[in-house]
Amino acid sequence: MANKSKDITYGHSRVGSVNGTAMMIVNDSLNAKATFDEPSESGMIGTDKPANTGRQVVKNDVNGSITVRPSYAHANALMQAIFDETTGTFTPADAPTAQTFPVVVNRDVDIYTYADCWMQTLTIKANENEPIDWDMELLGTTETDAGTVSALTVPDKMIMPDLTFSVNANTYFIQGFEWSWTYAYDERFHQSLTRSTAVSKIPMAKLNITCDYNSDTWADLFALAGTDTAIEDVNLVFANGTNTLSILHPEMTVMNESKWNDQSGVDASSGTLELRAWLATAEGDIFTATYA
């Protein structure tokens, strides 16, 4: 059953921008979180007490997530901000820490700007008959109580019926999906109150596919997954008749629990197929995405 809570209207959303492109933000937890040194004053009385509280900021951590429901044009702009691009073809960034971009959020009473954000994890997900959420977990350096956001004409969103899911050129009908990409940053604050750098460790693509337990798709997918530890040509293709966004994986590894004690088979009891890809394969990058 579709999650009715996702049917919120645009009146409950915020206008913001990512890398200069205005779009609707439907969920927002991005902010600066200060850590203070809290001195003990239990032994101080009268004139011995300090004139101020003595609180001192020792760390200012800017992080959090924003969720948007983009149009295809917005999705293209997001891919350009996060990944390497060559004429409409996107691949994981070779130098991800160089892929920083500004985020501006209009919170009605104030507009906040986060000048240089790293994308820690991008998650694209939806269930049957829902709009597609793009959730970005971000790491930043500064928060400024200022900024501007361009006017926005609300576009048509990407929706779950746009999706075609295929494995080895065979199309399967699914109830829901969650695809994520993480650069797996190791954060560093080297002698700095704010995040000074981040180092990408083991980037990884994850894909969870949820099927109707009694469907042919469920039986076929889990039979396929049980034959080998790797599945080839795992593809997500979104199309609305005008634009297309494809996310193509040469190979992904099955991560479901084994069905038998000898580690064979795949436990299909959950109805969710769990796939991962964390190293470049012989065919090239972990994934390739195209926009047209």
pLDDT digits (tens, 9 = 90+) for 121-174: 999 999 999 999 999 999 888 888 888 888 888 788 999 999 999 998 889 999
pLDDT at 11: 42
Q: Where are the domains of the chain?
A: 14-36+59-291
Backbone dihedral region for residue 164 (phi beyond 0: left; psi -120 to 50: alpha; all else: beta): beta
pLDDT at 131: 95
pLDDT at 284: 60
pLDDT at 157: 93
Burial 55-67 (b: 16+ CB within 10 A, else e): eeeeebbbbbebb
Q: Which residues of the chain have pLDDT under 70?
A: 1-13, 34-59, 187-199, 228-229, 258-270, 279-284
Burial 181-207 (b: 16+ CB within 10 A, else e): bbbebeeeeeeeeebeebebeebbbbb
Q: What's the pTM? A: 0.82
Side-chain-facing half-sphere of 285: CA atoms under 13 Å = 17
